[in-house]
Chain A
Amino acid sequence: MEIVKLIIDDKPVVVEKGTTILDAAKTIGVKVPSLCYMKLEDMNFENKPGGCRICVVEVEGRRNLAPACKTECDEGMVVKTHTVRVVNARRTVMELILSDHPAECLTCAKSGECELQTMAQNLGIREIHFKGEQSKYKGDKSPAIIREMDKCIMCRRCETACNDVQTVGVLSAINRGFNAVVAPAFEMDLDHSTCTYCGQCVAVCPTGALTERDYTWKVIEALVDPEKIVIVQTAPAVRAALGESFGMEPGTLVTGKMAAALRKLGFDYVFDTDFAADLTIMEEGAEILDRLGRFLNGDKEVKLPILTSCCPGWVNFLEHHFPEMKDIPSTAKSPQQMFGAIAKSYFAEQLQVPREKLMVVSVMPCLAKKYECTRPEFSVNGDPDVNVSISTRELAQLIRNANLDFKSLPDEEFDNPLGASTGASVIFGTTGGVIEAAVRTAYELFTQKQLEKVDFEELRGMDGIRQATVDFNGLPINIGIAHGLGNARKLLEDIKAGKSTFHAIEIMACPGGCIGGGGQPYHHGDVEILRKRQRAIYQEDAGKPIRKSHENPYIKKLYEEYLGKPLSDKSHELLHTHYFDKKKKVEINH
């Protein structure tokens, strides 16, 4: 390893050759302000177009200021990060950026979370001396994501997320000069493109150019409608992140406060998607065992590996990019949709009301879920199983709207029957969790033996692709895990090439799984936040009295009273789905 020595702000620094000034400065606690630059450790995400020029610093002997994010340290370099010249340059750069940015901060969805706004404040911009033409670009409103490219500062982070991390390839910079904009091919709207709605572009956008489609008002309307019975379900990963929106330390579990807040907001029943996650394991676990059993009996037709299907971003990816493999994933619906189907059948019957009287709201760490609940196969006579899906951020907004002091709310419990859950369902919120939950149940059903230890450490972690072999009483079961669609692509290519030796694979669209979902409180580039959320998820699991889905007493009751057994006709009708070939075909004139 070659090292270089340099001076930054009068302090000596020793770094590996190739280190940028920005990274070198960090090692001595100097944070050079940056805007377009973003790096997510271990997630194959490094965006450094060197475009915004906010991070300029003075390098002795150089005529021009140097962008710290792009300039590598040289031996003997003398760098000053905070001179009058530097500060003036940064202010000029910021004013130029702002001169083509709509000054709509008061009503912008990103206000308070906007990195551009924060940077302008930090630089003390009080006046914009440059007046000129403003970029105007058509709006684009998909069921999940809204694009307002007038607010784009061309940092290109969304492109890095879409192309490098997710390999979805929907976004690219198009046109040139002042007309340049980030857009899908042929400037089509997102809902005509192959967008998976994973929302990772939204998660990294520094401004209000990319935001989620906000449905909070629909929720408020339902809550004040005396005719509606409004039911809420909350996804596992929400409880590990919601507290951040109220200034709580990342990784703080707020399950009880969240239940209390939802009740105060006026939901008639505060239920839990975790219940449906347990149900997913019952169905998916049975499917895994069914396929495995047939495979062991020499059935050549059986499709292995089986792929998990609870992530709608991943399902969209499969339908658009790998439709030829659409019979490989489990047919189990996502927990969100299982919940909706059961709420509007089993639970509606218990209440003795028609399903249309129920309004099911889901709180999700996810933007793809917004799209998922609009899929026509998930509605009955035009009535969707899940009416509205809001993100963790939107729930925080509802709580602020209602003027609730979230931090001081007392802990409350979920309602029964659809609020009861096990530790296995909680870990759905992190990469590796779904397959661990499935293994806990599949192992016991397959071997007829009780697990001595329910923690499968070998399935946990943050590496993009992981593999482990679990011993099913002498039968080695090979398990693969991928999070981030780029990693999923690698495993899918292997399957396509006939090289995969896995029996089961868990795939999550977002880096980290749902804890890193596109609807979670913004991490602003701090990956440590995701790790803290992950620890919180496992902590919640460890604290649960029941940790295996098949032992959830309300799940047992649901099968006894209503569904019969996993993969029964009733289960198939309510809890299973199928996938579509959505690959764009080139139209040919014959």
Chain B
Amino acid sequence: MANIKIPESKIEELRGICKKFNNDSGELINVLHSAQVLFGYLPAEVQELIAEELNVSVAHVYGVVTFYSFFSMLPKGRHPISICMGTACYVRGAEKVLEEFKRLLKVKVGETTDDGKFSLSCLRCVGACGLAPVVTIGERVYGRVAAEDVKKILGEY
């Protein structure tokens, strides 16, 4: 994460987001939502810029970002992997699938691989319980995934 800087092209867009919310510090959460859509995550530089625009301390912005699990300071991988931990998937062994992804990618939930290829997260139910356990990678949905299948799935990317 250390060397990631904001691309210049997106700075005006970010300032525009702040302006849309009247640079009002009370709108911090909404600004952060929009900024995360724009960048995919909320790196330190984005938080610093938002703090400057909304005239609040960076510590305050960081406090809000770390309070809500929706906000992420880590960039998503090129292929974001989500494992469904909803009831149906869970009882059909989603946890074992997750463990296998963690083992093979050497990352924890919420992290991205060093090469930026994959990121790993969990979600609750994608509405395809009949296919449990379900894994999504990008837009693609994999059903009835077993731990043994994980290696082959990753090999597709």
Binding site for B on A (CB under 8 A): 163, 168-176, 183-186, 193, 584, 586-590
B7 at the interface (CB under 8 A from A): yes
Which listed residue (A169, A586, A587) contacts B60, Cβ 8 A?
A: A169
For A584, what are the chain B residues with a Cβ–Cβ distance below 8 Å? Answer: 48, 58
Given contacts A170-B57, A172-B57, contact A586 B62 (CB under 8 A): no
Listed residue (B44, B60, B62, B66) with the most chain A CB atoms within 10 angstroms of its CB: B66
Interface residues of chain B, those whose CB is within 8 Å of chain A, are 5-8, 11, 44-45, 47-49, 52, 56-63, 66-67
* Closest partner residue, chain B, to A181 (CB atom): B66
Q: A169-B58, A186-B44 in contact; A589/B6 too (CB < 8 A)?
A: yes
Q: Are B62 and A174 in contact (CB under 8 A)?
A: yes
B48, B57, B59: the one within 8 Å of A586 (CB): B48
Using Cβ atoms and an 8 Å threshold, which residues of chain B touch A169? 56-60
CA distance in complex: A174, B7 (Å): 27
CA distance A566 to B48 in the complex (A): 43
Bound-state CA distance A184–B51 (Å) is 14
Contact B62 A186 (CB under 8 A): yes
Q: Is the CB of B59 within 8 A of A170?
A: yes
B47 touches A185 (CB 8 A): yes
Q: Are B66 and A176 in contact (CB under 8 A)?
A: yes
Indicate if the CB atoms of A587 and B45 lie closer than 8 Å.
Answer: yes
Q: Is the CB of B63 within 8 A of A172?
A: yes
The 6 sampled A-B contact pairs (Cβ below 8 Å) are A171-B59, A174-B62, A174-B67, A185-B44, A185-B59, A185-B62
* Chain B binding surface, main DSSP class: helix
Q: How far is the CA of A195 from the CA of B82 in the complex (A)?
A: 40
Which residues of chain B are within 8 angstroms of A186 by Cβ–Cβ distance?
44, 58, 62
CA distance A186 to B66 in the complex (A): 9
Given A171-B59, A184-B59: A586 touches B45 (CB 8 Å cut-off): yes
With A185-B47, A584-B48 in contact, is A589–B59 under 8 Å at CB? no
When the two chains form their complex, are residues B8 and A172 in contact, meaning their CB atoms are under 8 A apart? Answer: no
- Residues of chain B lying within 8 A (CB to CB) of residue A590: 8
B6 near A588 with CB under 8 A, answer yes
Inter-chain contacts of B52 with A (CB < 8 A)? 586
Asked whether B7 lies within 8 Å of A176 as measured between CB atoms, the reply is no
Known A-B contacts A174-B67, A175-B67, A186-B44; the reply to A587 vs B5 at CB < 8 A is yes
Q: Is there an interface contact between B48 and A172, defined as CB atoms closer than 8 Å? A: no
User: Does A163 contact B57, Cβ atoms closer than 8 Å?
Assistant: yes
Contact B63 A173, beta carbon cutoff 8 Å: yes
Select one of A168, A174, A184, A586 contacting B6, CB under 8 A: A586
For A587, what are the chain B residues with a Cβ–Cβ distance below 8 Å? 5-6, 45
Per the bound structure, the CA–CA distance linking A175 and B59 in Å amounts to 12
In Å, the complex CA distance between A587 and B66 comes to 21
- Per the bound structure, the CA–CA distance linking A234 and B20 in Å amounts to 54
CB of B46, distance to nearest CB on chain A (Å): 9
Say whether B58 contacts A185, CB under 8 Å. yes
Q: Decide: B59 and A172 in contact? CB cutoff 8 A.
A: yes
A184 to B67, CA, bound (A): 14
Chain B nearest Cβ from A590, distance in angstroms: 6
Closest 8 pairs (CB-CB, A-B): A169-B57, A589-B5, A172-B59, A172-B63, A185-B58, A185-B62, A185-B59, A174-B66
Rounded to whole angstroms, the CA-CA distance of A93 and B123 in the bound complex is: 36
Check B7 against A175 for contact (C-beta < 8 Å).
Answer: no
Given A169-B59, A171-B59, A186-B44: A586 in contact with B66 (beta carbons within 8 A): no
Of B5, B11, B56, B63, which is within 8 A of A174 by CB? B63
Q: Which residues from chain B contact A174 at a C-beta distance below 8 Å?
A: 59, 62-63, 66-67
In the complex, residue of chain A having the shortest beta-carbon distance to the beta carbon of B50: A586
B55, chain A: closest CB distance, angstroms: 10
Contact, CB under 8 Å: A172 / B60: yes
The interface residues of chain B lying within 8 Å CB-to-CB of A175 are 66-67
The one of A171, A172, A173, A586 in contact with B49, judged by C-beta atoms closer than 8 angstroms, is: A586
Extra inter-chain contacts (4) besides given A172-B59, A186-B58, A589-B8, CB under 8 Å: A169-B57, A172-B57, A172-B63, A176-B66
